[in-house]
Structure formats: structure tokens, C-alpha cells
Amino acid sequence: MAAPAVEGAALTALHSVLLQVQHAAERSGRRPEQIRVVGVSKTKPVSLIRQVYDAGHRCFGENYVQEFVDKAPQLPEDIKRHFIGHLQSNKVKTLLGGVPNLDMVEGVDNVKIANHLDRAVSTLGRNPLKILVQVNTSGEEWLMTIGMPDYTSTPENFRESLIQANCRFEVCKAFGAAEDQCELSMGMSNDFEQAIEMGSTNVRIGSMIFGPRDYAKKHKALKDLKAEIFKRFLNLQELSTGYEIVGVHRNPELRMDFTDWALGARYCALVGDFNGWSPTENCAREGHFGHDDYGYWFISLEDKLREGEKPDELYFQQYNCVDDYDKGDSGVTIEEIFKKANDEYWEPEENEMVKNRFELPAKLYEELFGPNGPQTIEELGEIPDAETRYKAWKEQHKDDPPSSLPPLDIIDNGKVYDIFNIPSDPAWQEKFRSKEAPIAYWLETRKGRKAWLKKYTPAIPHGSKYRVYFNTPDGPLEHVPAWATYVQPGKYTLHLLLCVLLAMILM
């Protein structure tokens, strides 16, 4: 069937790409229809995708789960949809449920993701899902590639590197399958012709069809909004100076130090699967090394290696990694802003030390809204600030019976309280008003320090999930996730608790 006439640069670009695919296929002795062209449409509007669809193209790929889910219902059902890139385990159900006619996942790089996909397909009762397995042919740890193309060299050198990466032949040989039964995905906008000549059956073309992605414009818009971000988040500019002591830090003595800032909190505890989620097992102490300021809470825990894990040459270890949240996801709704903080565990990846005071709020902004979030002050104004959102949540749940809330109790001066139902206590309120900064006996005296560490330094194994709970005079803060993440040897980095910043904002 002939494609309808469609005006626009995308139509011209599509025809040019298909013609180049045809010529490359003929040079390799194959038919053009044996080559699948995946139009990579990430960050591109639905209107532009539909223009290419109207030109007769049917296969499109996306990189961001939430963007994919948002676009899916706005496009025809006969589109062949591919998810491209690393898929996080906590996004599998969202992807398969939100894109019911997903055709293929390109880039399954570990057994864990494969098992998650298998279970999700079975649970959702959907048709079998095609996957492409990502293969490490470079021999370098952590680097997942097919081939090691040298884009600055001659086509002959490029061809040689692809010959060395002829994984499809080896896979078919191992499974006793015909070579044409296996797909080989190689080639993007700048090298797809050479990849086709060397046997690729699946090429991914983005910028050549849809045009370049204007990241510079978004970066400038975000930069222009920094002052407004400071204003929106209750003078985060001043609070950002405390990032070096707030958060979770690796201690050279094989410990993890947790420091949180909750001005006026009467209780703070670290809970997790390592202590049965007990809110009384591992209490934090108010104060901080060199910062005995009122409002800081500190706890130190020993670190344990995972089973079979060897110590690094340096003291950095991969400790307490938990499921991360893809900050590249777009389309964050108002409801999701706090849902991300309260219902998910975060792994913000490795970050260099903050170089200036503007880096912190910029990162917070990106974590909250993603790179495709509000890009104008007007758009930002449509989203309530953290304090407004928290007050609205409290108002919404003010009449909830105690049984509908987590049954967590705390012990304070011998009294047992329900952490979510704090009775009015005039005596305690007076104590709070006259409270003084804690005496740093545990820091100033060797005996006090050893006693404190003995009491408050349990062991926490790798892979544990844990959270910090705050109990404040105005009621409890919603549970605040804490995290630790992998630190590359040689990078002396600090990691920031996003939700500690939210705790600052809410106080």
C-alpha cells in the first residue's frame, strides 16, 4: 500500500534513510525487507511520530519508561514498539502494563531483568515478548557493547572490528539454530550502512529521521530557573551548604555514617530488613562530629561485605545498593513527586563533589521533575511546593483510623507512643521549648565515645533496604528513604540524601 503524501523534513529524512538501507542490503546480498529500521523517537512529540507513521513507517523505539507509557495510548495500535536500553527491575511491570503491545526489549543485560520480564509476561497474560540480549564483546568490565567501532578510522578498520564481534554466528552454533533465526542489532545513525553490510538485521535511527535533540535549550531553561527553584523550595540555597554533613557517607573505618537534619524532631531511627524494621533497635543520637547543632541526628553502622565479595584495595565497597529510580523519566505528575520519595528506594548514581552552591538544587530539580519536567516559571508554578504538598497530605489523612497506618511504636523516656498518633503532652512540649544543644560527651571523652559506638553501631549487610523515620512535634514525617550507593575506587565522592532535603523543606 502506498504511503500517503506527508509534508515535512521527517518524511524526506525517512525516505533518505530507507534508500540507504536498501543500497546497503543490496551490497551485502540481502533484501531490504530483511532489515528492520527502528525509529528512535525519545524526547520527540507525538505529532512528529505520527507524521513518520503516516509516511508508512511502523517500528519505533523509546528509551524512557514513563515517556513510553505516556505516548503509547496516543499512537495507533499497529505500531511495533521497542524499548531500547537498560531496563530497571522496578520498571518492568510499569513498562509491560503501560505498553500492552510492546514488541521487543532491546538490551537485556542480566539474568535478573530477564526473570522479571518472564514473570511479568506470565502475570499479565500477554503474548510472548521478544528480547535482544546485550553482549559484552569488548572484554572490559561493566562495558556492554557489540563491537568496538572506531568512528575516526577507515571503513575497512570498522569492518574488521565488526567481524571480530560476530556474536550471532557463535550463538547460533551453540544452540544449533540457523543463522537467520537470530537477530543481530548493530548500527545507529552514523554507522548503520556498515553494520548492515556486516550482517545487522536491526538498526536504530534517531536523529537522521527526527532531527537532533535540543538538549542545550533544556539546559539553558533549567539554568535560568535556579533562582526560582531556590525560592520555591524554602530557601534551599542556604540549606545546601549543609550537604557535606547531611546524608550517608562512607567511613574509612569500614562503617557507614548516617547524618540527618530534622530541626525539632524528637526521635530518629534507622530501620530496615537488617533489624526487622524495628523503630527502637537502632536509634540515632542528636549531634554530629564537630556539629553539635540542635537538629542533627547521627548514627554509625558497621559495613559487611556481601557473600563472596572481596575487599577493594581502598576502603570503598559496594554497600547497600537498592533499586534506583531513573531520573531520566519524563512526565512526572504532581502525585508522583512525593510518591517517588516515599514509595521507592533511590540510587542516584555516582556524583562528583558539588563544585558550587547551584549544583545541589539543580540536581534536586532534576531528580524531582526529570529533564523533561517544567521548563518555564509558569509550568513550575502549576506544581505545589513541598510544604503545601505535605500539608495537603496531612489534611487528607487526618480522619484515618490508627489501624490504617503502619503499626510502628516508639519508646521515649520510658513511654510507648504510636509513631503516627502522638498524644498531646504538655510536659514534653515544655521540655522541647527549653531544650539545649546536646553535650558531646561521646565525642570529647574516649570512654563516652566507645560506649556510644558500642550501643549504636550494629552490623548492616550489603543489599539491605532501610529507611529513616522522623517523629516531630507536629506529627510524624512520612517515612523518609535512605540510601547508599556504589562508589568507584579513586573517586572520593559524597552522596546526598534527596529525601533528607525534603525533610528540611517540610520542617
In a domain, 178, yes or no: yes
In a domain, 2, yes or no: no
Whether residue 416 is predicted with pLDDT greater than 70 in this model: the reply is: no
- Residue that finishes a domain, picked among 158, 190, 210: 210
281 and 254 within one domain: yes
In a domain, 19, yes or no: yes
467 and 485 within one domain: yes
Task: Tell me how far apart the terminal alpha carbons of the chain are, to the nearest angstrom.
Answer: 63
Whether residue 329 is predicted with pLDDT greater than 90 in this model: the reply is: no
- CA 496 – CA 348 distance, rounded (Å): 8
Beta-ladder partners of 296:
261
Q: How many domains does the chain have?
A: 2
171 and 262 within one domain: no
Parallel/antiparallel/unpaired status of strands 130-133 and 102-108: parallel
**pLDDT range class, residue 81, cuts 50, 70, 90:** very high
354 and 465 within one domain: yes
Q: What is the pLDDT of residue 67?
A: 86
Whether residue 493 is predicted with pLDDT greater than 60 in this model: the reply is: no
251 and 186 within one domain: no
| Parent domain of 80 | 9-210
Give, in order, the Cα–Cα distances in Å from 377 to each of 215, 222, 226, 228, 232.
18, 10, 10, 7, 10
In a domain, 296, yes or no: yes
**pLDDT tens-digit readout, 361-378:** 445 444 444 444 444 445
- Residue that finishes a domain, picked among 210, 243, 269: 210
In a domain, 69, yes or no: yes
**pLDDT tens-digit readout, 374-397:** 444 455 455 555 445 445 555 766
Of 63-67, 155-159, 210-214, 303-307, the poorest mean pLDDT is in: 155-159
pTM of whole model > 0.85? no
88 and 62 within one domain: yes
319 and 194 within one domain: no
Domain harbouring 80, CATH code: 3.20.20.10
Strands of 252-318, DSSP E: 255-261, 267-272, 285-286, 296-304
Greater confidence (123 vs 37) lies with 37
413 and 328 within one domain: yes
Residues in CB range of 123: below 8 A, 6 or more apart? 93
In a domain, 1, yes or no: no
233 and 142 within one domain: no
Computed from CA positions of residues 213, 216, 219, 220, in that sequence, does the dihedral angle turn out positive or negative?
negative
- Residue that finishes a domain, picked among 210, 229, 247: 210
* Contact present, 74 and 307 (Cβ < 8 Å): no
In a domain, 481, yes or no: yes
48 and 131 within one domain: yes
108 and 79 within one domain: yes
Whether residue 25 is predicted with pLDDT greater than 90 in this model: the reply is: yes
161 and 49 within one domain: yes
**pLDDT range class, residue 99, cuts 50, 70, 90:** very high
> Letter for the amino acid at 488?
Q
In a domain, 50, yes or no: yes
